[in-house]
Chain A
């Protein structure tokens, strides 16, 4: 079966711009989580959605937001980009929250 698909794979944006990242989970997976990964901070939890509802949110500013659609696909948005937002953004899906997660290959965001 198809894995978790994240688009785009790479992205370069300018400070102050906004960006939207997309994630298509494995078919049948209703839980989608987003993470930010940087070399110094490791995996930092952003938020988790289950059946279109945000279940948990990590300790990130309100510039980071997300949503999940009825087909379980999810998007995350970052507004007013800062240099420190440069990171690998990973999406993961599972059948239910907390179960073994399947990760996508990530979106590498560079803010210049």
Chain B
């Protein structure tokens, strides 16, 4: 069956360190993958989109990698800050041009 998985356990990181979140998928061949941030009670906010022919994408302190062989995307936040604490969602585009969402990983940055 088709699945997209993110670590359901919260990730606790010390301020200033790099946070790395994982998104794994099975039985999909997505054209691209997106990452979003969601704060409690708010809608998700789009962060980055990476295409299947791109290995890495950067935006300020954010970096996303996409390995279509491993069927995995990694999302990195460098020099993490308490304000980065949120739930991070990955979503991939399936063959029907529909976004399929992971359940999200809660990131907690401790001062």
Q: Which residues of A contact B (CB under 8 A)?
A: 4, 33, 42-43, 45, 48, 55-56, 88, 90, 92, 97-106, 108
Q: Are B43 and A42 in contact (CB under 8 A)?
A: no
Q: Are B42 and A106 in contact (CB under 8 A)?
A: yes
In the complex, 28 of the A-B residue pairs with CB atoms within 8 angstroms, ordered by the A residue number, are: A33-B99, A43-B44, A43-B101, A45-B98, A45-B99, A56-B96, A56-B97, A56-B98, A88-B41, A90-B44, A92-B43, A97-B98, A98-B99, A99-B49, A100-B34, A100-B46, A100-B49, A101-B44, A101-B46, A103-B43, A103-B45, A103-B46, A104-B43, A105-B43, A106-B41, A106-B42, A106-B43, A108-B41
CA distance A48 to B44 in the complex (A): 17
Residue in A42, A92, A103, A104 whose beta carbon sits within 8 Å of that of B104 in the complex: A42
B100-111 Cβ-contact flags toward A at 8 Å (1 or 0): 111110000000
Which residues of A sit under 8 angstroms from B42, Cβ to Cβ?
105-106
Q: Which bucket holds chain B's interface residue count?
A: 20 to 34
Query: Does any Cβ of A come within 8 Å of B89's Cβ?
Result: yes
CA distance A105 to B45 in the complex (A): 10
Which residues of B sit under 8 angstroms from A33, Cβ to Cβ?
99
Which residues of B sit under 8 angstroms from A102, Cβ to Cβ?
46
B8-49 Cβ-contact flags toward A at 8 Å (1 or 0): 000000000000000000000001101000000111111001
B58-101 Cβ-contact flags toward A at 8 Å (1 or 0): 00000000000000000000000000000001000100111111
Q: Are B101 and A45 in contact (CB under 8 A)?
A: yes
Known pairs A45-B101, A56-B96, A105-B42; list 16 more (Cβ under 8 Å): A4-B43, A33-B99, A42-B102, A42-B104, A43-B44, A43-B89, A55-B97, A88-B41, A97-B98, A98-B31, A98-B98, A100-B46, A102-B46, A103-B44, A103-B45, A108-B41
Give the residue among B96, B98, B102, B103 with the most A Cβ atoms within 10 A.
B98
